[in-house]
Structure 1
Amino acid sequence: MSGFRSAPGGGARIRLHPQEAAFLADLARQVATLIADRTDAHDDPVLERLLPDAYLDAPEDAAEFRRFTEDELGDAKVRNAMTVLESVTAEPGAKRVDIVLDAAGVGAWLRSLTDIRLALAIRLEITEEGAPPDLDEPDRINYAIYNWLGTLQGSLVAAIDRR
């Protein structure tokens, strides 16, 4: 992966290996499914982070605010993840996946990459200090994925910043 490059009209483009694209599609699908299938955001720490309470010290106000906003916020997050999923879908046997995003696609990608990284950070217990030092093998791999997504997201920000 070489990272995103600027495209006309506030967009960006990138060329991914089909395995990178499939991997990204799977992550976007997992986050979209988690959010779409939710029953209560407080049942899962990832959902609690992706759909946070607006009022931390006023539970009744938070519940009322959530009642009016959670569905819309959740639906927007699912749409963002589906934008990523649809744009990385490759033809069978493709040697590369060329992705060109318009300005709206850039926004959806940035928001979805943030959601995917937040989900991984919660599962891996990453804090401002970084990952816990005693990660087992699967978690070390997931931490590498978290960092790869950060690099991907950083290249997207840099690409749109160059306009």
Structure 2
Amino acid sequence: MGDRAGGRRVTAPGVALELTAIEVAHLTSLVEQFSALVTEQESDAGDPAIARLVPDAYADTDAAREFRALTESDLLQRRAADAGLVLATLLRDGAPLRPEELDAVSAEAVVSIPLDGERLSAWLRTLTALRLVLATRLGIRTEADGDVDDPRYGVYEWLGYRLEGLLQAIDG
């Protein structure tokens, strides 16, 4: 039996994701920011990124609002829990990597992150959610949208590349 991740059943015994230390450091920062966003949703009630993470379940405005009132907090707590699991897998020697702490040589060191079961599912859901947040911030609704000159667009693309790699490893 596998875990559900973004509509896909994850049945692979596990994969190893290889990132450079600088990628781990930057991803750690992104996931920390994402975690703060979903845990502080009360102050960001009108944030379009939150709305995109928890889309309306019904076309009827009143029904959608009622459903959101009943489920949004739980859904965002689950996203925060996923982010926490991802952050735990990114720790090195029990501490997060920070870009400013890495020299040129250590920044390029390869870090292998074993992922299986719930960790793998959490990674898939979190990378997808991070892309949704960035897409919202960048105004991306379709493949034709987005300012490729915006530095965040590169991060959006990199997250997609990593997500696609994980999905291929699962299917492989």
Same fold by TM (over 0.5)?
Answer: yes
Find 1:142's aligned residue among 149, 152, 160: 152
TM-score normalized with structure 1 length: 0.82
Q: How far, CA to CA, are the matches of 2:25 and 2:77 in structure 1?
A: 23
How high is the sequence identity, in percent, across the aligned residues? 37
Q: CA deviation at 1:24?
A: 0.7
The Cα offsets for residues 10-41 of structure 1, whole Å up to 9 and x where unpaired, read as 21112221110011111111111101001176
What is the alpha-carbon distance in structure 1 between the residues aligned to residue 52 and residue 152 of structure 2?
18
The RMSD of aligned alpha carbons is: 2.1
Q: Which residues of structure 1 form unaligned runs of 5+? A: 1-7
In structure 1, give the amino acid aligned to 2:67.
Answer: F
User: Equivalents in 1 of 2:132, 2:47: separation in Å?
Assistant: 13
Q: How far is the alpha carbon of 1:51 from its aligned partner? A: 1.3
Q: When you count helix as a share of all residues, which structure comes out higher?
A: 1
Query: Which whole-Å CA distance do the structure 2 matches of 1:144 and 1:129 have between them?
Result: 14
Q: How does 1:10-159 map to 2 (within 5 A)?
A: 10-39=13-42, 42-56=45-59, 58-91=60-93, 95-133=109-147, 136=149, 139=150, 141-159=151-169
TM-score (norm 2): 0.78
CA distance in 2, matches of 1:87, 1:143: 25
Pair 1:130–1:40, CA change in 2 (3 A) = farther
1:3 matched residue in structure 2 = none
The answer to whether the 8 Å contact 1:21/1:90 transfers is no
Q: Is the Cα–Cα contact under 8 Å of residues 120 and 146 in structure 1 kept in the other structure?
A: yes
Quote the Cα distance in structure 1 between the aligned partners of 2:121 and 2:46. Answer: 28
Does structure 1 retain, via aligned residues, the 8 Å contact 2:12–2:170?
A: no
